[in-house]
A and B are shown apart, each in its own frame.
Chain A
Amino acid sequence: MMNTQRGIEIVVGAFVLAGMLALLVLTLKWSDFGTSSVSGYTVSAQFDNIGGLTDRSPIKLAGVTIGRVSSIQIDPKTFEAVVTMVIGSQYNDLPKDSFASIYTAGLLGAQYIEISPGGDTQVLKNGDKITMTQSAVVLEKIISKFLFNKAAEK
């Protein structure tokens, strides 16, 4: 069968198809691959500056990933970034006054949101908003601040 002309044609057809498919998969934007596994509740937070935060950036609690950024938009009134995040449903007793800050993993790593729990007895629920936030640190701003301070000292 394999050596007959028809067998060869079938195998070649499969090969061409597989090759095309491989190229297509490489070209494709894997839209929700890897995030579909995260199910839970959604909360949002506003930041002055999100730095390099992107969709699918991790949300961490004490260094452990507990959720993902699902979307980033701009609030048209306040001109602040509104970050929507999905947090795993097993972490459902985060205090309402928890603090969200944007950090960078290492010096060059990707950015993530660290949640520092507050002391409120009420917990965050689906659709809630984290009010206390700290923006991403922009290195240039720190350097320029430092340089201006140095200049003022003289």
Chain B
Amino acid sequence: MNRVLTALLNGLAALGQGVLSAAAHTGQLTLFIRQLMGRLIPAWTRPKLIVQEIYAIGVLSLVIIVISGGFVGLVLGLQGFNILSKFNATESLGVMVALSLVRELGPVVTALLFAGRAGSAVTAEIALMKTTEQLAAMEMMAVDPLRRVIAPRFWGAVIAMPLLAGLFSLVGIAGGYFIGVVVLGVDAASYWGQIQQQMQPMDDVMNGVIKSLVFGVVIGLVAVFEGFNAEPTSLGISRATTRTVVLSSLLVLGLDFILTAWMFGA
């Protein structure tokens, strides 16, 4: 009887612990966001730092983004051609490739790759700075690490994300063109003509840009938060890096559904 009671209480305690730590985590994140908000505008007094971060986060991600975009476009072209040729509608291949890229695959796949390529690097860098007490040293010298280290990295992610997503979509459309028109013989004028007729610049492209901006904010925030709050040990760094990739990927996919329902839903 006593043992059952203890087990029950243990289970209850585990549940309570989980809820409390989740609440603490959320509170930490909220406080962190509030602190960061105040530094976002002042960070622009040193634009060179932001430029450097755009280089580290955006330019160095170009290779993986462009190559993936090309292959996604090639696959979309092949798959789309196979399906559309059953309905004798291969003229619509262009618009199918372009809309799937601009609306969905461009922002989402770019964000997932971006979280893996750039988000993890940012987290690891900041976490190591914290572990080796560089952040504490900065504070000792009256340099605000949030403004000097965190804010520029956040801006770098927010600025780089939409640009990378745009490049991804464009390279993907070119890949679809290569497979569809050059290899499989779809009419070139139909490929471009259908894209032009069916794609609404202000709706489709703007919605893609909004999505990728939101994803940039989410990934940037998660990456700097996890790095900043990492446990200052080698295990802590590796955990923080993993959490960044997992959490930002899940958030991107979940938010994508919400954003899509909001933009394209009834």
Chain A interface (Cβ < 8 Å from any Cβ of B): 5, 8-9, 11-12, 15-16, 18-20, 22-23, 25-31, 33-35, 37-38, 54-56, 58, 65, 68, 105-110
Residue of A9, A29, A34, A55 most packed against chain B (CB within 10 A) = A34
Docked complex Cα distance between A105 and B188 (Å):
16
Nearest B residue (CB) for A68: B189
B196 within 8 A of A: yes
Instruction: Tell which of B88, B187, B208 touches A106, judged by Cβ atoms closer than 8 Å.
Output: B88
A16 x B91 contact (CB < 8 A)? no
B88 x A15 contact (CB < 8 A)? no
Given contact pairs A23-B166, A25-B170, A34 touches B102 in the complex (Cβ within 8 A) = no
A105 x B91 contact (CB < 8 A)? yes
B87 x A106 contact (CB < 8 A)? yes
Docked complex Cα distance between A25 and B163 (Å):
12
B55 x A12 contact (CB < 8 A)? yes
Docked complex Cα distance between A37 and B54 (Å):
40
Supplied contacts A9-B51, A15-B160, 20 more A-B pairs, CB within 8 Å: A11-B55, A12-B51, A15-B58, A15-B59, A18-B163, A19-B164, A22-B167, A25-B170, A26-B170, A30-B195, A34-B193, A37-B188, A58-B187, A58-B190, A105-B89, A106-B89, A107-B87, A107-B88, A109-B91, A110-B190
Chain B interface (Cβ < 8 Å from any Cβ of A): 48, 51-52, 54-55, 58-59, 62, 87-89, 91-92, 102, 159-160, 162-164, 166-167, 169-170, 187-197, 201-202, 205, 208-209
Distance between A63 CB and nearest chain B CB, rounded to angstroms: 12
Distance between A110 CB and nearest chain B CB, rounded to angstroms: 4
Distance between A20 CB and nearest chain B CB, rounded to angstroms: 7
Main secondary structure of the interface of B (DSSP, over half): helix
Distance between A56 CB and nearest chain B CB, rounded to angstroms: 4
For A109, list chain B residues within 8 Å (CB): 87-89, 91-92
A30 x B167 contact (CB < 8 A)? no
For A55, list chain B residues within 8 Å (CB): 193, 197
Docked complex Cα distance between A107 and B85 (Å):
11
Instruction: Tell which of A22, A33, A34, A108 touches B87, judged by Cβ atoms closer than 8 Å.
Output: A108
Enumerate 14 A-B pairs (CB-CB under 8 Å) in ascending A order.
A12-B59, A15-B55, A15-B62, A18-B167, A19-B163, A19-B166, A26-B166, A26-B201, A27-B205, A35-B193, A37-B189, A58-B189, A105-B89, A109-B89
Docked complex Cα distance between A54 and B159 (Å):
39
For A11, list chain B residues within 8 Å (CB): 55, 59
Given contact pairs A19-B162, A58-B187, A30 touches B192 in the complex (Cβ within 8 A) = yes
A15 x B191 contact (CB < 8 A)? no
Distance between B159 CB and nearest chain A CB, rounded to angstroms: 8
Distance between A135 CB and nearest chain B CB, rounded to angstroms: 21
Residue of A8, A15, A16, A31 most packed against chain B (CB within 10 A) = A15
Instruction: Tell which of B58, B159, B166, B194 touches A110, judged by Cβ atoms closer than 8 Å.
Output: B194
For A106, list chain B residues within 8 Å (CB): 87-89
Distance between A60 CB and nearest chain B CB, rounded to angstroms: 11
Distance between A114 CB and nearest chain B CB, rounded to angstroms: 14
Query: 10 closest Cβ contacts across the A-B interface?
Result: A106-B88, A19-B163, A34-B189, A56-B193, A22-B166, A23-B166, A27-B201, A109-B89, A22-B170, A34-B192
Given contact pairs A26-B205, A105-B89, A107-B88, A38 touches B48 in the complex (Cβ within 8 A) = no
B192 x A33 contact (CB < 8 A)? yes
For B209, list chain A residues within 8 Å (CB): 23
A8 x B55 contact (CB < 8 A)? yes
Docked complex Cα distance between A25 and B169 (Å):
11
Docked complex Cα distance between A54 and B193 (Å):
9
A15 x B54 contact (CB < 8 A)? yes
